[in-house]
Amino acid sequence: MSSGPEWRVPSGIQPKPDEYEYDLDKALGAVAALRSTVPQDAYSAETLGTERQGNAVHIGDGRMLTIGYLINEAETIWLSFSNGKVFQGTTLGYDHETGFGLVQTLGRIDVPALEIGDSDAARIGELVVVGGAGGAKHSVAAEITARQEFAGYWEYLVEDALFIAPSHPNWGGTALIGRGGDLLGIGSLQLERARDGGKPEPINMFVPINLLKPIFKDLRMHGRPNRPPRPWLGVHAAEIDGNLVVIGRAQRGPARRAGLLRGDLIVGVAGQPVHDLGGLYRKVWSVGVAGIEIPLLVIREGKKLDLRIPSADRAGMFKAPKMH
């Protein structure tokens, strides 16, 4: 098992410890490299692969916070810290709504923990550090360039996501460290955005840490939030030329079974019009909890078509984590 990352960010964007009021090296010591393996027959194996790697952040008592797709259906999890120690981990919980994943180290770790911050107080233009496993040489000095809604094609919505630039080359599970040395978010995605009409540049999207606070105890104790699951359709949709277009359907998902096709235009949910991804998801979730039938109005080859899709609990599609 490798003891650390095999990549390094360019020296020009590496944070310099003497430029921060907090102990940067200590803060970055809380970040570990995470590697996981997933069974070949796992539901997520086709889209996310069977070997995954990224980062995880120690938030206390051996609990490591990461982005959930790194550990979803994981059979084995290994955590490599900058002090050279390697520990096996086990999945504590995964929340499909926020994307957070929680891992427990199997063994007593002697590394610092990052204090949970207040992501609501983060401001555009604020200087931050994107902490990756391996210390400053594997981390990025950046700034918050935007905070706004993010809607992913896989029925995922973060209403106040944090966006930073420059991007981190190994963004999954990285720590967004604020000016006080506290944890403001967890790295999720890399996207492209043009600034001031210029050339598109890579940016990272972070899930804000305040979304963890209401569900942390449930993740720790029960593996998922103690709330009714949202209805899931298994629709992959995108906004194209002002239309909501079906670009794919999840394997074995409700939408595929109900006859929704690629190329269909979604124009309404339960008698209400929808115009964007965020609006589509909110309308679907407002109908009821997982298992309820969702009425969709679609346009197929110029003709309107009413479909009724029996929704499901997304979590039910995945293998239970292997406990150690």
Q: What is the pLDDT of residues 37-93, one digit of tens each?
A: 999 999 999 999 999 999 999 999 999 999 999 999 999 999 999 999 999 999 999
Residues 6+ apart with CB under 8 A from 41: none
Q: Do domains 11-113+216-222 and 119-210 have the same CATH topology?
A: yes
- The CATH number given to 11-113+216-222 is 2.40.10.10
Choose among 300, 289, 30, 3: nearest CA to 182.
30
Domain 235-317: which CATH class? mainly beta
Q: What is the dihedral of CA 162, 164, 167, 172, to 10 degrees?
A: -20
Q: Which one-letter DSSP state was computed for residue 13? A: G
Please state the domain extents for the chain.
11-113+216-222, 119-210, 235-317
Give per-residue pLDDT as tens, 231-288: 999 999 999 999 999 999 999 999 999 999 999 999 999 999 999 999 999 999 999 9
What distance, in Å, lies between the first and last C-alpha atoms of the chain? Answer: 18
Choose among 201, 177, 200, 202: nearest CA to 190.
202
For all residues of the chain together, what is the average pLDDT? 94
pTM, entire model: 0.94
Residues 6+ apart with CB under 8 A from 267: 244, 273, 274, 297, 298, 299, 304
The region, left, alpha or beta by phi > 0 then psi within -120 to 50, assigned to residue 270 is left
Q: Which long-range contacts (CB under 8 A, 24 or more apart) does 154-159 make?
A: 154/236, 154/250, 155/232, 155/233, 155/234, 155/235, 155/281, 155/284, 155/314, 156/96, 156/99, 157/277, 157/278, 157/281, 157/282, 158/98, 158/99, 158/205, 158/207, 158/208, 158/211, 159/278
Q: How far is CA 190 from CA 41, 103, 168, 193, 200, in A?
A: 27, 23, 8, 10, 12
Predicted confidence (pLDDT) at residue 198 exceeds the cutoff of 90:
no
Kindly give the residue spans of alpha helices, DSSP state H, lying in 213-289. 216-222, 254-258, 277-287
Predicted confidence (pLDDT) at residue 200 exceeds the cutoff of 50:
yes
134: β partners = none
Predicted confidence (pLDDT) at residue 188 exceeds the cutoff of 50:
yes
CATH superfamily of the domain spanning 119-210: Trypsin-like serine proteases (2.40.10.10)
- Asked whether 174 and 167 are in contact (CB, 8 A), the reply is no
Say what the pLDDT of residue 12 is: 81
Give per-residue pLDDT as tens, 216-241: 999 999 999 999 999 999 999 999 99
- Asked whether 215 and 207 are in contact (CB, 8 A), the reply is no
